[in-house]
Amino acid sequence: MLFNIAFSIFLVALASASPSSKCGTPKKQPNFVFIMADDQDLHLNSLAYQPIVRERIGEQGTTFNKHFCTISLCCPSRVSLLTGKLAHNTNVTDVFPPYGGHPKFISQGLNDKYLPVWLQSAGYSTYYTGKLMNSHSNANWNNPYPAGWNGTGFLLDPATYVYNNATFQVDRNPPVSRTGECSTDIIKDMSLDFLDKADKAGAPFFIGIAPSAPRSESRFELGSEIPYFAPPVPAERHKDLFPGVKVPRGVSFNPDAPSGASWVSKLPKLNSSQIDSMDGYHRARLHPASRVHTKKTSTSPFLIRGPGIPKNRNVDFVTSHTDIAPTIFKLAGVDLRHDFDGTPMPTTVRHMNGARLSPRCTIMLRWSTGGGGGLALPRATIQSRDWDQVARSAPTPTTPTKRSGSWGSLAAWA
Ligand SMILES: *[C@@H]1O[C@H](CO)[C@@H](O)[C@H](O)[C@H]1NC(C)=O
Ligand SMILES: *[C@@H]1O[C@H](CO)[C@@H](O)[C@H](O)[C@H]1NC(C)=O
Ligand SMILES: *[C@@H]1O[C@H](CO)[C@@H](O)[C@H](O)[C@H]1NC(C)=O
Ligand SMILES: *[C@@H]1O[C@H](CO)[C@@H](O)[C@H](O)[C@H]1NC(C)=O
């Protein structure tokens, strides 16, 4: 299946507009810079190759060691993140229509019920650059425009993942191909520009930054709905980094005896040329080409720094993408919405210590086999079989206890 895996790293850096607030004076709302990159994986060590992230955010803030995406599929995951709701409640469950993609986000009425719209109502100016959702494309970019943003520079399908010829669509202007430029560099420039604008505007701000890197380069050949995948294309200055790096040889790497559950247990053993090719791919994006729906691939690196956030700290309580919108609400001093499925993550020493003593949360994980709308496999089958898989691979102690929605879901306890 296509687009099975699109996991993300979420780095939130907060800079308070007023670092200290005295009793009696109203506290100014903090600014948010939210960076999200595709295809990051905690257990496969993607952070090991990002020293600046470790130094500037990890050492200066808190790293969440058990941060899950509640649905390990790109568009539904992003929608959960931006709405604070689980996929069975957003009803955006795939990357393409009819069950998912940006058009489904629109038809579910979510364009005026998501984070930037709520933040604007709370007085924020909001900016976004990079990939918003799958199937946000040349064909539908202005019909309607994504609501809630003061400034945008979106990557658009079908050239979202074409590193040196990506399509960008800025504010209300028509899409433009940026031939010969590295898309990540364009996103960096736009982000800096938004920072300047936001700073000048004076209101508290939220800036979302979502490069497609290090995801595979993929293109749609003319007339085909099936994308062509190739290794990601690094910027010229980065292309010789990481010589000799290989896919981590963990216990689940090409085991002699089949392991795992469901379709994973039926995969044939890889031969040497397949392993060489995976290692090459891994060097290109520092993420293996395997597709495994387990704890390993649903645990994303998540780091946060800012005023009041403990420095150089690692925490082990469970959090999820669905908690991100509620966390931003709480930090911004906005009343939580009743329809949030997530809850604010602890961000202060006191709350973190409390969460450590009293296990705080239940998260629900679900798997689907995205890609190609009608081509998707029957989800219920995969879902129920993967239950066992997750029960064995989720953090201990684990109790699969709760089903909900038509696909069934799973609760992991920490
Ligand atoms: C969820 O999406 C499906 C498929 O598009 C649709 O048939 C169904 O009516 C939707 N349900 C809700 C509650 O929006
Ligand atoms: C951002 O957009 C909102 C909604 O249109 C508007 O009220 C606000 O003034 C804008 N902020 C800036 C800095 O332009
Ligand atoms: C860049 O992309 C556009 C549209 O996606 C295409 O028309 C053009 O031929 C491409 N240019 C190159 C050099 O590949
Ligand atoms: C490895 O398996 C692939 C796919 O079955 C096959 O095309 C290739 O020739 C094999 N290579 C070796 C060295 O056996």
Domain residue limits, the chain: 8-17+29-386
Among left, alpha and beta (phi > 0; psi -120 to 50; other), residue 87 is: alpha
Q: Provide the total of helices (H) and of strands (E) in the chain, helices listed first.
A: 11, 14
Strands 302-305 and 8-16 turn out to be parallel
**Token representation of residue 55:** 């130094």
Q: pTM for this structure?
A: 0.84
Nearest-atom number in ligand 4 for the CA of 268 is 5
Residue nearest to atom 3 of ligand 3 (CA): 177
The CB density around residue 306, as the number of other CB atoms within 10 Å, is: 21
When comparing pLDDT for 199 and 406, which is higher? Answer: 199
The CA distances from residue 78 to 112, 133, 141, 324, 333, in Å, are 15, 7, 17, 11, 23
Q: What is the mean pLDDT of residues 365-388?
A: 35
Ligand 4 atom at shortest distance from the alpha carbon of 271? 1
What is the pLDDT, as a whole number, of residue 141?
A: 98
What pLDDT, on the 0 to 100 scale, is given for residue 25? 52
Ligand 4 binding pocket includes 272 (Cβ within 6 Å): yes
Give me the mean pLDDT over the 65-89 stretch: 91
Residue ID of nearest Cα to ligand 1 atom 5 = 99
Nearest to 82 by CA among 253, 409, 385, 329: 329
Least confident of 81-90, 111-120, 203-212, 261-270: 261-270
Q: Which residue has tokens 């299946």? A: 1
What percent of the chain has pLDDT above 70? 76
Mutate to test the pocket of ligand 1, among 91, 95, 107, 406 (most ligand atoms within 8 A of CB): 91
**What tokens does 287 get?**
């993420």
- Between helices 74-83 and 324-332, what is the axis angle to 10°? 30
Protein residue with least CA distance to atom 4, ligand 1: 99
Choose the residue to mutate in 167, 176, 179 for probing ligand 3, maximizing ligand atoms within 8 Å of C-beta: 179
Measured at the CA of 389, the angle between CA 287 and CA 320, to 5 degrees, comes to 60
> 286-289 long-range CB contacts below 8 Å, 24 or more apart?
286/46, 286/49, 286/214, 286/242, 286/245, 287/39, 287/40, 287/41, 287/44, 287/46, 287/214, 288/44, 288/247, 288/248
Say what the pLDDT of residue 364 is.
Answer: 53
> What is the topology classification, in CATH, of domain 8-17+29-386?
Alkaline Phosphatase, subunit A (3.40.720)
More confident position, 383 or 302: 302
What is the rounded distance in angstroms from the CA atom of residue 347 to the CA atom of residue 344? 8
Degrees, nearest 5: CA angle 59-62-66: 125
Nearest atom, ligand 3, residue 180 CA: 13
pLDDT for the residue numbered 292 = 42
The candidate with the shortest Cα–Cα distance to 79, out of 94, 63, 58, is 94
Mean pLDDT (the chain, rounded):
79
With contact defined as beta carbons under 8 Å apart, do 136 and 157 qualify? Answer: yes
Note the pLDDT tens digit of each residue in 242-299.
889 998 888 888 888 887 777 778 888 999 999 999 888 888 876 433 444 444 556 7
Q: What is the pLDDT of residue 411?
A: 25
- Check pLDDT > 80 for residue 130: yes
Look at 19-28, 51-60, 105-114, 392-401 and tell me which has the smallest mean pLDDT. 392-401
Measured at the alpha carbon of residue 408, what is the angle toward residues 405 and 414, in degrees to the nearest 5? 105
Spatial distance between the Cα atoms of 214 and 133, rounded to a whole number of angstroms: 16
Report the candidate in 95, 44, 47 with the shortest Cα–Cα distance to residue 71. Answer: 95
Beta carbons within 10 angstroms of residue 377's beta carbon: 14
Measure the CA–CA gap between 316 and 128, rounded to whole angstroms: 30
Looking at the CA of residue 138, tell me the nearest atom of ligand 3. Answer: 5
For residues 267 and 103, the model is more confident at: 103
Strand, coil or helix: what is 332? helix
Distance CA 98, CA 327 (A): 31
